Structure formats: C-alpha cells, structure tokens
Structure 1
C-alpha cells in the first residue's frame, strides 16, 4: 500500500521552533505525521523560519506540489504582520493561489488562524493593538479562504492554551513541546472527525523535561533576542507611527475607525479574489 504523503509548509511555528530534538527542531507537524495513518507516512517539512506568504507561494509550494501530498498544511502569516511591507491584499492573493494549487491536486488542506504576536510578547497596548489588528485581518482571510477550499481549519488563535505559560517557550512567540503537542492533538482530532486520520492520537504529555529557567533565559538573551530583532528591524519605525496614530484615535474616541478600516480592507481583498475568478475577467 502506498504511504500517506504529508507535506508541511510555513514558518518557524511549523519548522518546530520551541520543540527541540537533537540538534534541530521537531514540532507539531512531525508529531501529527505519526498519527495520520496506521500504515507508513512520508513526512516532508518545507517550513523555514522567517518565511512569509510570498516565500510559501514562490518557493515552498512548487516543491510541495512535486511531492504529490495527500495532506498538506499551510500555516503562515505572522511574519507578514511583522514587516513594514504588510499588505492584506497581497497576503490574500498569495494564500488563495497556494490553497487552490494543492486542492486542485486533491490534497487535504490544513490551515490555522494564529494569535497576534504583540499580545504574546506582552507589548504595551499602543504597540500591541496595531499588530493585533493586522493578525485579525490575516485570520479573517484565512477563515474565508479555508471555507472556500474546504480546508480542515484549526482555531489556534483562541482558547485557554494561549494563557497557559507551560504551553510556551521562553520567547513567548513559539509553543514549547507541550504546546506543539496540543497543536498536533487538535489537528489530529479534526482530521479524525473528517475521516482523514486513522493512526494513533498524539500524546499530550511531553517526552522531554522542560528547559530550566536559566537555560530559557540564556536562550532568550542570545538566540531568542536575535530572532526577534531580525523579524522586527524594518517594522519598528512604522510600528511607532502606527502606535502614535493609535494613541491619537484613542484620545479622540475614534479607535473604532481603525477597526472599520481594517475590516474594509479585508472585504476588499476577498472581493478582489472573487472578481478574479470570473471567467471573463481581464
């Protein structure tokens, strides 16, 4: 019998950052792979730390399509929100192309909405709110497109697991082993309900001891700080402007306008995709 082929696309979350294994990372996708089938599973992880939707479309998708997956996960978007080039129209168009390519090939598509990085990092409100607004926009697009393409969608942006410190690694942006296991467990439950997962349910219990506090602080002060700096360097000047705009609107009592502006941008981005689907579109 041919093995089940599972291909994972995305960024550091899917790469497995926060769940160390030997000299590298394991992560939720690898944990999920073991429970997809009672028979052999061929798992390929194409996710790369720092990837944005452009990277998934232009680099990871062609490689993934060549593998002919039965199941493909596309979990991406946080790094787009951390760039000064953030454009919800571009994010929507890229995700639409990626989802369409794999579903046309007959793969079962896995997607997820994600928590906003500002809240996870504990940023001050004026800095966190613009990032939260961006992440909500990405999540709204992912929700809509997941429904359009019949994806198995995980609501990872909500739930008590987000506030459980034991689920998260030292950097507060990536799950620790326990958190990665929760993601694998929840995806497996959705797949099993849909009849796509027949293997053993991933265990929620960690296999390895959690890093000591001193080890976590050392990682955060070295590699972790460098990771955040690389992701946010070009965003900071714009984020400060967004924060100033946020404070002006709050002082005037017009913060709702910022939310309405974001909602309108999401609606326009999705409407543009619908127009593009028309057979007589230019």
Structure 2
C-alpha cells in the first residue's frame, strides 16, 4: 500500500495509454504481490494523509505501507515542524499498532535539483532539514518496524536522468531507483523480493522535447510564481534573520598623524 502525495501517485512516470505507473507498481511487481492499494493524492500534505488516507489504509490491514509525503508542506507558508511531527507520528504509530511494516522517505537536498533564487533556495533547504528531522525522530521510535530510504544517499539520485521535466518528480528511471531502494529495505527486513527491480527504462511513455517545453510554459512558470507569492513572507523573514545574525565588521583606521 502507498500513502502520500504526487510522487506516490507516480507522477513523472507516464504510461503509454495514459495515467501513471511510478515506484508503487514497480515495487508491487518486485514483490510479486497480486494487489496494490495506492491512496496517494496529488498535492497531499502530512495532515491530509492523517485525516483522509490513514482511515482507509487501516481498514485494509496492509502488510507494508510506503509513506511518501512532506515536500508539499515545505513549500507552504504555514510550514510547522511540530505539527508535522505530530501528524507523522500519528500515521506511523497507527500503522505499526496494526502490525504493518512502514517504509518512509528521508529527503535529498532538492535545491540541487530544482534551481531557485538564492533566498528561496536557502528557505527551502532549511525546511527540508527540518522535515528530515521529523522523519528521523519518528523512525527512531521503532527501528525494527520502520525502514527509511535516504534519497540523499541514493546512488545517482542527483543525476538529471533521475528527474522528470519539472525537476520535482522522479522520472521513470527515478521511480525505478525508488522502487529498487524500497525493495532492498524490505529484503533486509525479511520480506521476499523474488523479482529485482531493473533500472533500465521500459514500458513507460517517452517525453518529447516539445512536451517538456509545453510543461514549462503552461505549468512550470505559473507554479514557481505561486510558490514565490506563498513563500514571500518567509523569504523576507529569512533575509532579515540573516542580517540580524550576521556579526558586524568593525574597521579601525589608524590616524597617520597620531603618535605611536
């Protein structure tokens, strides 16, 4: 079972007939599972998963749940690490109480993939660090029942080929890398993984240069403008904070006419 946002949905790995595949289907095939319940939703935040996706997940009594969520929270002006921790702990705690093995994602430095203006880049990086702190804290409560895939350490994770045109979602290759990483964690936890995930792209839809350009014009630039407005107050606060914290430089000039 998969809970989370658009990465959990499979965005970035389109199928020829429409829709998305993504790491959930690739991981299902690696496990040889007959069913996959994917409750992921584009735009989902941690609180949404807790309120909307978790209740349905608990009724299904899954053996394994992949929780991929949090980046949308970092891109909002109401970002709150304490609330994130409360929501994440509630989600994972409820799943573990049912005996479900939980896989989580520890995020990479997204500013190395998605180029942003310097003030926005610094603000986003600090939030990713805070989000990872939440993931670490929740995972530490039950190391035997929680596996964490660290995207910062994923081989090839910062290569251009791992990312779709928007630089926010994994490409087909990126989704294959995620599926392979999760499969390895499950194998280490004692789950049977009879069919290794191939990193060779196959079965997806090729994205053309025209489609990439169209995305940038129709969706990419408007998205960046919306996020800039939403995070504008955060950027200003960050810049003011840096100026306040920056130590003053005092220059003492000696009067050449003065006696030594």
TM class, shorter-length = 0.7 to 0.9
> Could you say if the C-alpha distance between residues 199 and 233 of structure 1 is closer, same or farther in structure 2, counting changes exceeding 3 Å?
same
The structure whose Rg is larger is 2
Give me the TM-score of the superposition, normalised by structure 2: 0.86
Give how far 1:251 is off: 4.7
Give how far 1:246 is off: 5.3
Q: Do structure 1's residue 15 and structure 2's residue 1 form an aligned pair?
A: no
CA offsets, 1:69-98, max 9 Å, x none?
011111111111111111100000000000
- Matches of residues 42-81 of structure 1 in structure 2 within 5 Å? 42-81=35-74
Gaps of 5+ in 1: 1-6, 254-282
Partner residue, 1:97: 90
Partner residue, 1:279: none
> Could you say if the C-alpha distance between residues 123 and 227 of structure 1 is closer, same or farther in structure 2, counting changes exceeding 3 Å?
closer
Asked whether the 8 Å contact 1:119–1:128 carries over to 2, the reply is: no
* Coordinate RMSD, CA, aligned: 2.0
> Could you say if the C-alpha distance between residues 143 and 90 of structure 1 is closer, same or farther in structure 2, counting changes exceeding 3 Å?
same
Runs of 4 or more, structure 1, over 3 Å off, are 116-119, 223-230, 249-253
CA offsets, 1:117-158, max 9 Å, x none?
444321133221111111111111101211212311100133
Partner residue, 1:213: 209
User: 2: distance between equivalents of 1:196 and 1:242?
Assistant: 47
> Could you say if the C-alpha distance between residues 97 and 176 of structure 1 is closer, same or farther in structure 2, counting changes exceeding 3 Å?
same
Gaps of 5+ in 2: 249-260
Within the candidate set 186, 196, 199, 2:191 is matched to 196
